[in-house]
Amino acid sequence: MSTVGWMKGLDTKEKQTLNLNSKLWKTFLVLLAAILMFGGPTYAVLVLWRGLDLNYALSMSTGFLLFLVGFSLLVFLVRRKLIS
């Protein structure tokens, strides 16, 4: 039984990993961390509170959670020595 060209990669049991050392991934992850840390507590809270009429406490806690995710991503990048 032969496999189609696009299915050939599915037969192998190779482990696929991300190359976090590439400049593209470093740039993307740093920008994502910055957006989550600064945009989460400001713009996300504003959109949730005023735009979607959610409770103020819920919007603030969501903004704080986004800040923590961004900060955790930044700590991860520093510990893995992807950024200095």
pLDDT digits 0-9 by tens, 35-54 = 999 998 999 999 999 999 88
pTM: 0.71
Q: Is residue 8 part of a domain?
A: no
Q: Is residue 46 part of a domain?
A: yes
Q: Is residue 14 part of a domain?
A: no
Q: Environment class of residue 65 by beta-carbon count within 10 Å: exposed (0-12), middle (13-18) or buried (19+)?
A: middle
State how many domains the chain has: 1
Task: State which residues form the domain around 50.
Answer: 20-79
SS3 category, 12 = coil
- Position 9 scores a pLDDT of 55
- Position 24 scores a pLDDT of 87
